[in-house]
Amino acid sequence: MPNDYDLITIGGGSGGVAASRRAAAHGARVLVVEGSRVGGTCVIRGCVPKKLMMYAAGFGGALREAAGYGWVDVGGRFEMARWADAKAREIDRLEGIYREMLRSAGVELALGQARLAGAGCVEIDGRVHRAGKVLVATGGAPATDAMQGLTLAMTSDEVLDLRAVPASILVIGAGYIAVEFASILAGLGARVTLAFRGDRPLRGFDEDLRLRLARALEQQGITLAAGIALEALSRDADGYALQRADGSVLRADAALNATGRRPNTAGLGLETVGAALDRSGAVVVDEDSRSTAAGLWAIGDVTNRVSLTPVAIAEGRAFADTEFGARPSRVDHRTVASAVFVDPPLATIGLTESQASRRGPVDIYESDFRPMKTAFAGGAARTYMKLVVDGLDGRVLGIHMLGPDAPEIVQGLAVAVTCGATKRDFDRTIAVHPTAAEEFMLMREPTRRLPAATN
Ligand code: NDP
């Protein structure tokens, strides 16, 4: 029987849409199947609405700062329902753009639940379609199994649909989602308790960033309930109660579960085609995103490699170029920049100080200062910058920053790191003045030199 399509993509999020459009540009006949809204987590219930909420939260501080610059009678009140209505309109608009991008690329869209019904066979609401290749790009969803009672809490999905700011909220976890929403909700006026088992937020990030992030969150008025294992969440007429291993109980009017995400593989029929899953439930793939089942590939969060939108997009395009464009390409997952949108934001690329020193001697360059704009208005917030440099050949191995515009600055510098720039290249780059970013060009002497760590 002839194939209906060259490619069926299951999942119309950032990765699936990018792969499908690129495959169609190479001449493939492509069908995308989406069970919810086109645009996926990032556009509909993730990065985009989160950033719109972050912008809303930022006005509080900006209005306070304005007074320091001579503005009078500034003030006002945040009405979250107004923000929610405007956000919904914006997400509708963006979903429309995503649909239009698929249409103009010649990609067909089917709304419904897809299930693999055999090699190259995808059943969509009872009807089977055949394709030469199938791509799974179904993303992930909030995990609720870290402790008892977590299903009682909101997830990032529901927080983004709030129409009123809760008076108080327990944010459970200390990863990307937890610290971002803790900071945003505090900026909007909620009393926030960040409850986590580690000593500092953002395990895995550079220790100096973690330390300064903890301070910045506290400066924002967030209570850090750290260092004690979390046991169970419950709810009664008074609100939410989080039981901790030392017997203490944290309480608030609302609760957000931010204890990680799981790959969306349930109900896809992956077992029927013999696609292996790892212990986290992610589809096992090789460097070319090829699963263990013939004719089946997977990209993005469902593979649990580096769960970030731009990585999913890059994986999708690499798949399409390799399989339909005769331009084999692979994604390098080693050097991926990322940002955490707290107040002030932080961003990072490459190795942390401790990762680098496990590989060899390192030179650490740092700058810690009060940014001009904040200092002028009497603010106490500080900016922190760190370069991790190879002690032998001078290559910049890592860049870490916490401070206003950190994501924008690190994105630019990510090109230099990807190209293998050395500290000398930074030194001979003429600064743009007056900026915060120029500090990265003006770091003359290392603040410390570390020998290669032995462990
Ligand atoms: P993360 O994996 O970043 O963080 C999970 C948090 O939950 C950690 O603090 C972890 O603690 C904690 N946790 C897990 N299990 C338990 C437990 N049993 N008891 C107590 N605490 C627990 O997941 P997120 O949900 O924050 O984000 C999911 C993914 O989404 C991220 O990996 C990221 O890739 C992506 N994302 C990216 C953003 C960005 O780029 N700005 C923004 C939002 C999401 P511990 O560290 O101790 O294990």
What stretch of H or E contains 313? helix 309-324
Q: What is the mean pLDDT of the chain?
A: 97
Which residue ranges does the chain devote to CATH 3.50.50.60?
5-142+262-324, 150-259
Structure tokens at 145: 């199994």
The CATH number of the structural domain formed by 5-142+262-324 is 3.50.50.60
The CATH number of the structural domain formed by 150-259 is 3.50.50.60
Structure tokens at 239: 């609100």
When pLDDT is cut at 50, 70 and 90, the band that residue 233 belongs to is very high
- Residue located nearest, by CA, to atom 48 of ligand 1: 203
Mean pLDDT for the stretch of residues 414-433: 98
When pLDDT is cut at 50, 70 and 90, the band that residue 2 belongs to is confident
- Give the closest residue to 264 by CA, choosing from 59, 91, 113, 87: 113
Enter the pTM of the model.
Answer: 0.97
CATH classification for the domain delimited by 344-448, as one of 3.30.390.30, 3.40.50.150, 3.30.1600.10, 3.30.70.890 = 3.30.390.30
Q: Environment class of residue 317 by beta-carbon count within 10 Å: exposed (0-12), middle (13-18) or buried (19+)?
A: buried
Mean pLDDT for the stretch of residues 292-302: 98
Q: What distance in angstroms lies between residue 374's CA and the mean position of ligand 1's atoms? A: 30
pLDDT of residue 339: 98
- Is the pLDDT assigned to residue 1 strictly greater than 80? no
pLDDT of residue 454: 76
Cα separation, 91 vs 290, whole angstroms: 32
Residues with CB under 6 A from ligand 1: 146-147, 173-178, 180, 196-198, 203, 230, 258-261, 307-308, 338-341
Q: What distance in angstroms lies between residue 304's CA and the mean position of ligand 1's atoms? A: 13
- Is the pLDDT assigned to residue 455 strictly greater than 70? no
List pLDDT tens digits, range 241-254. 999 999 999 999 99
The alpha carbon of 203 is separated from its chain's Cα centroid by a whole number of angstroms, namely 14
Active site (catalytic) residues: 433
List pLDDT tens digits, range 27-74. 999 999 999 999 999 999 999 999 999 999 999 999 999 999 999 999
- Residue located nearest, by CA, to atom 4 of ligand 1: 175
Pocket test for ligand 1, best of 231, 259, 338 (most atoms within 8 A of CB): 259
Query: Are 201 and 215 in contact, with CB atoms under 8 Å apart?
Result: no
Pocket test for ligand 1, best of 51, 171, 177 (most atoms within 8 A of CB): 177
Which residue ranges does the chain devote to CATH 3.30.390.30?
344-448
Cα separation, 385 vs 391, whole angstroms: 18
Mean pLDDT for the stretch of residues 78-97: 98
Q: What distance in angstroms lies between residue 361's CA and the mean position of ligand 1's atoms? A: 31
